[in-house]
Amino acid sequence: MHRDAAETGDLQALLAQVGAALDQFLRFEHADPVRTNHEWRPRLDTALPLQGIGIEQVTDELITYLIPNGSPVAKPGFTSFITTGGTTASTLASTAASIAAPQRYLLTAFNFLEELSLGWLASMCSIGHLQGVYSSGGSVANLLALGAARQHAFEKVGHDPAAAGVHGRVRVYATREAHHTIQRAAGVLGIGRRAVRPIACDAGGRMEIADLRRVIAEDRQAGVIPMAIVANAGTTNTGAIDPLLAISEVAREHGIWLHIDGAYGLPGILDERKTHLYRGLEHADSVIVDPHKWLGAAVGVAATFVRDRELLRRAFTQEPADYLEGAVHQDAPSPTAEHSLDDFGIPYFDYGIELSAPSRGVVVWALLREIGVEGMRARIVRHNDLALRVADAAREHPNLELLLEPTLSICCFRYVSPDVPNLNRLNQNLHRRLVRENRSLPSTTQVNGKLALRPCFLGARTEVTHADELLADVLRIGAELVSELVANGTKSSENIQSGHNTLNL
């Protein structure tokens, strides 16, 4: 084999083989990888290869051992996490970028799409007045937003925290329903995880304004700098949306940065039945959204939006470097450039924490170009309808109980039976059996002390049949478990002993 051919291969033929294997994967006729562990693992568990096997053989191993033993996250019945398998548009765009634009900078068409698509994303989500930057996920997107908030809070007292370090006590206000990446961001930014002060929420998981006001007043009294209020536009747990307008009023009164975490839920604004819940979004100082959640991008694409990216630059600049000779710190590419290497294009590497980074805008561009805002809206409405469908069934069926009205595409419900006192344990066991069957794969969560089954409908391939299958599976397995329990007479032993939890619910 010719050496160069071995290293580069015939992309067209090889991609066709990988594409066929991925189409087969998407039929989901294969078993869970843990079941087939004994087949693929010994084939992959080899020593460091001193001699290569060549690209044909690598492709063959990809097709034979990797792809069929991949992740259940891509399954349409998978409703556990808030990530899904990427759509075809996402796969094609990122594959193309991995070859044609290995970096997001320079004056290339890909760098152009980076900015164009951030603008599309912002205007689709009604935050068109904000400027964006992509990053790898909601964790980093929240970090960047809070980095901007930190910069803002300290600059007001004449201090540059990014250059000189942080001193003085600051606080971030968020409910316990806020994503834990907020705490981590506070740790990374040097203000400490404990600077995140919990604000009470109501039974629906929404921030209590009275408590927010009380806590801020207390902190002001104590001379603490209030750095940011973090509000959720769709919590990970239940999809709850904080009262954004009321929170924005508190933020404005006190001059505190308002960050809105819409990693999952921001695109929910497209469902006209929900738009009113987002009132106040226009007052946000920063907002994040993860295209790799509801929009169908493969994992690795998030966006942070702020009013003025200059603040992000001051928070995250790496300072000029010799090897980035000619780096231009401005938001418009040089009009005198004669070659794509003459200018870095928009300097995203100074608005965040990544220097080398893939072109992500092309993925968002492809997703929106393929189905448009209307296609995206239809998908989001469909997913919200699936949550409502499960909620209706849970309200009506005597063996189901709705634990929380869905706000967006998450529904929290459980199986109930008068014969079983410990419903938390019953639902835990039911969930375990569901997962073993490998068809309907929701997660569980706690809703006001009750263990809930928690489907989050999000996948581009998830349809009404998958919600109906979930309901049918829950009812069937629930009935099986109850009859097993009754047959074993467990009612009188184990369940009653640990049942005090349940009986108090």
Task: Point out which residues bind ligand PLP (CB under 6 A).
Answer: 82, 137-139, 142, 179, 181, 236, 261, 263-264, 290, 302
In angstroms, what is the minimal distance from the CB of 246 to ligand PLP?
Answer: 19
**Considering just the CA atoms, what is the radius of gyration of the chain in Å?**
25
Q: Which is nearer to ligand PLP, 152 or 179 (CB)?
A: 179
Q: Which is nearer to ligand PLP, 137 or 358 (CB)?
A: 137
Task: Quote the distance between the C-alpha of residue 103 and its chain's center.
Answer: 23
Q: Which is nearer to ligand PLP, 107 or 231 (CB)?
A: 231
Q: Which of 292, 280, 203 is nearest to 249 (CA)?
A: 280
Residue 260's DSSP bridge partners are: 231, 287
In angstroms, what is the minimal distance from the CB of 261 to ligand PLP?
Answer: 5
Q: Phi-psi bin for 283: left (phi > 0), alpha (psi -120 to 50), beta?
A: alpha
In angstroms, what is the minimal distance from the CB of 163 to ligand PLP?
Answer: 27
Q: Which is nearer to ligand PLP, 421 or 442 (CB)?
A: 442
DSSP string covering 178-227, please?
Answer: S-THHHHHHHHTTS-GGGEEEE-B-TTS-B-HHHHHHHHHHHHHTT-EEE
- Residues 456, 239: contact at Cβ < 8 Å? yes
Strand duo 131-135 + 400-404: pairing: unpaired
User: What gap in Å lies between CA 354 and CA 449, rounded to an integer?
Assistant: 40
In angstroms, what is the minimal distance from the CB of 409 to ligand PLP?
Answer: 12
Task: Quote the distance between the C-alpha of residue 49 and its chain's center.
Answer: 36
In angstroms, what is the minimal distance from the CB of 389 to ligand PLP?
Answer: 22
In angstroms, what is the minimal distance from the CB of 187 to ligand PLP?
Answer: 15
Q: Which is nearer to ligand PLP, 236 or 427 (CB)?
A: 236
Q: Which is nearer to ligand PLP, 345 or 352 (CB)?
A: 352
In angstroms, what is the minimal distance from the CB of 228 to ligand PLP?
Answer: 14
Q: Which is nearer to ligand PLP, 266 or 485 (CB)?
A: 266
In angstroms, what is the minimal distance from the CB of 500 to ligand PLP?
Answer: 34
User: What gap in Å lies between CA 475 and CA 496, rounded to an integer?
Assistant: 23
In angstroms, what is the minimal distance from the CB of 50 to ligand PLP?
Answer: 37
* Token pair for 345: 């294009």
- Residues 295, 376: contact at Cβ < 8 Å? yes
Task: Quote the distance between the C-alpha of residue 153 and its chain's center.
Answer: 27
In angstroms, what is the minimal distance from the CB of 337 to ligand PLP?
Answer: 34
Q: Which is nearer to ligand PLP, 130 or 481 (CB)?
A: 130
Q: Which is nearer to ligand PLP, 117 or 235 (CB)?
A: 235
Half-sphere exposure of 91 (CA within 13 A, CB side): 11
In angstroms, what is the minimal distance from the CB of 354 to ligand PLP?
Answer: 14
* Token pair for 23: 């189409």
- In one-letter notation, the amino acid at residue 135 is S
Q: Which is nearer to ligand PLP, 144 or 302 (CB)?
A: 302
In angstroms, what is the minimal distance from the CB of 264 to ligand PLP?
Answer: 4
In angstroms, what is the minimal distance from the CB of 301 to ligand PLP?
Answer: 9
In this structure, the number of other CB atoms found within 10 A of the CB of residue 480 comes to 12
Q: Which is nearer to ligand PLP, 141 or 393 (CB)?
A: 141
User: What gap in Å lies between CA 189 and CA 459, rounded to an integer?
Assistant: 33
- Residues 303, 145: contact at Cβ < 8 Å? no
Q: Which is nearer to ligand PLP, 117 or 502 (CB)?
A: 117
Q: What are phi and psi of 426, to 5 degrees?
A: -55, -45
User: What gap in Å lies between CA 481 and CA 492, rounded to an integer?
Assistant: 16
Judge residue 221's burial from the number of C-beta atoms within 10 Å of its C-beta, 0-12 exposed, 13-18 middle, 19 or more buried.
Answer: exposed
Measured from each CB, the residue nearest to ligand PLP is 138
User: What gap in Å lies between CA 483 and CA 426, rounded to an integer?
Assistant: 12
User: What gap in Å lies between CA 248 and CA 447, rounded to an integer?
Assistant: 27
* Unique residue bearing structure tokens 């009506």: 396
Strand duo 441-447 + 78-79: pairing: parallel
Q: How far apart are the first and last CA of the chain?
A: 70
Q: Which is nearer to ligand PLP, 387 or 474 (CB)?
A: 387
- Residues 165, 190: contact at Cβ < 8 Å? yes
